[in-house]
Chains A and B, each alone.
Chain A
């Protein structure tokens, strides 16, 4: 956020609890016995995210649902493949290459990425283009924070993202289901929107690998595939970047991919959705415009034909 560079410090500028807790544990670990490990382990795993009002009134899906029903084609096309295979992904160390129209290009380690950010818990609706949905208590921070660190230059109009591509760790990429690496993109104003977050965890714990560890995008008013997982590269660019599903079929998957019950996918209706976890007799319900975030984001698309620009 631009706030990072002003003098009026806020609570957001305070070292996150997670960071200082880690520091203490490092000291304790260094000083003490091996037995400490058993105490440090679970404590370090918890992200100590600040609770927020996002999603008040929403009932999150159980962790079990969120971590067992995934689309992460790098690990297979079945919904249960990611939970089976994602353990192969090495997430430590991890870094993100930030390049393009930025003042501070370079390789950002996870420590660099997380430095000075406050992790928040935000409960968001998550709507897949396949008409299922869930409610997820993400832990993350605004993408704008990271873009602020990188220093977005004037000419930048879009942000492009890339998922890791590691054939030796990702059995799914051996088959060319789509063109790898997985790519996504946002218009700069969408990327800077306060609802757009980079998530590093869910349910207060570090991100499970099948959900896009160690860091993924979450754009709650767009179909799930826009929320790219396991990000290794972020580029600030002038032109609209190519995106994975749009490259596969532009007619089916638009660049914007805003959740829109009035614009059907050519192969199925988008009017209704079903929340996962409801069993065999789970009822469908009506999908909300912009997935229920109309008030917050409709302004981004004023005057645009959302059927044409789907």
Chain B
């Protein structure tokens, strides 16, 4: 799993170094990593609904997919910090002053405790109930991540809205609405 997960970012990095990402490879690399992270994040959210609808279960892979999502987010953030913004004072100014970056950073911050507790030891220590409720933070984090993409689009663009729609749709599909009684 993890050895496969290393491949896309490594490939992007290779493209970036060899000129395969075009005339402005920094933004391109940053955007591709961000999009990749969002795609895997959506895969994480899709595991449960997929099992319910089709019976196909990737439940065993879900935690690993979550860790991969976090790793991609870290790479995305690292490219932004080191290659893109570069200037320290500008980094903080961006986080505070630019709402789309604030939202993106908030998503990252929510993911940190989830990544830290993604091991079996944490699961045992917290107990399944507390661990599960902590990991419900996945949902707000996913919404913020998709929102981050929507907010940075120039003009009215479909693609980021599709991602946001998928995230919201998958989360909504888990909410079992209480059955209406005939009397109501």
A contacts, CB < 8 Å to B: 61, 64-65, 68-69, 73, 77, 79-80, 130, 132, 175-178, 248, 264, 267-269, 271-272, 274, 276-277, 279-284
* Distance (whole angstroms) from the CB of B65 to the closest CB of chain A: 27
* A276 B23 Cβ-Cβ under 8 A: yes
- Considering the chains assembled together, what is the distance between the CA atoms of A267 and B153 in angstroms? 10
Which among A69, A177, A269, A276 is the interface contact of B94 at CB below 8 angstroms?
Answer: A269
* B23 A280 Cβ-Cβ under 8 A: no
Main SS of the interface on chain A?
loop
Main SS of the interface on chain B?
helix
A68 and B29 in contact (CB under 8 A), knowing A248-B155, A271-B90, A280-B16?
Answer: no
* A280 B22 Cβ-Cβ under 8 A: no
- Considering the chains assembled together, what is the distance between the CA atoms of A176 and B161 in angstroms? 14
Contacts of A68 in B (CB 8 A): 22-23
Number of chain B residues whose Cβ lies closer than 8 Å to a Cβ of chain A = 28
Which among A132, A269, A282 is the interface contact of B90 at CB below 8 angstroms?
Answer: A269
Contact digits for B1-29, partner A, Cβ 8 Å, 1 yes 0 no: 00000000000000011010011111111
* B155 A77 Cβ-Cβ under 8 A: yes
Contacts of A61 in B (CB 8 A): 23
A274 and B98 in contact (CB under 8 A), knowing A178-B156, A248-B155, A281-B83?
Answer: no
Contacts of B19 in A (CB 8 A): 279
- Considering the chains assembled together, what is the distance between the CA atoms of A177 and B97 in angstroms? 25
* B87 A276 Cβ-Cβ under 8 A: no
22 A-B residue pairs with Cβ-Cβ distance under 8 Å, sorted by A, are A61-B23, A69-B22, A77-B157, A79-B24, A130-B154, A132-B24, A175-B157, A175-B158, A177-B155, A177-B157, A264-B97, A267-B98, A267-B100, A267-B151, A267-B152, A268-B98, A271-B90, A272-B90, A276-B24, A279-B17, A280-B16, A281-B83
Contacts of A269 in B (CB 8 A): 90, 93-94, 97
Tell yes or no: B86 within 8 A of A by CB: yes
- Considering the chains assembled together, what is the distance between the CA atoms of A277 and B21 in angstroms? 11
Which among A176, A277, A280, A283 is the interface contact of B17 at CB below 8 angstroms?
Answer: A280
* A284 B86 Cβ-Cβ under 8 A: yes
Interface residues of B in 9-61 (CB under 8 A from A): 16-17, 19, 22-29
Contacts of A284 in B (CB 8 A): 86-87
Residue of B nearest to A73 (CB): B155
**Which A-B residue pairs are the 3 nearest by beta carbons?**
A177-B155, A69-B23, A65-B23
Contacts of B24 in A (CB 8 A): 69, 79, 132, 274, 276-277
Contacts of A176 in B (CB 8 A): 156
Contacts of A276 in B (CB 8 A): 23-24
- Considering the chains assembled together, what is the distance between the CA atoms of A200 and B2 in angstroms? 52
- Considering the chains assembled together, what is the distance between the CA atoms of A63 and B43 in angstroms? 41
Contacts of A175 in B (CB 8 A): 156-158
Residue of B nearest to A265 (CB): B98
Contacts of A64 in B (CB 8 A): 23
Which among B97, B99, B154 is the interface contact of A77 at CB below 8 angstroms?
Answer: B154
Contacts of A77 in B (CB 8 A): 154-155, 157
- Considering the chains assembled together, what is the distance between the CA atoms of A252 and B87 in angstroms? 23
Contacts of B17 in A (CB 8 A): 279-280
20 further contact pairs, Cβ within 8 A, besides A80-B22, A282-B26: A69-B23, A77-B154, A79-B23, A79-B28, A130-B154, A132-B24, A132-B27, A175-B157, A176-B156, A177-B155, A178-B155, A264-B97, A267-B151, A268-B98, A269-B93, A272-B90, A276-B23, A276-B24, A277-B23, A280-B25
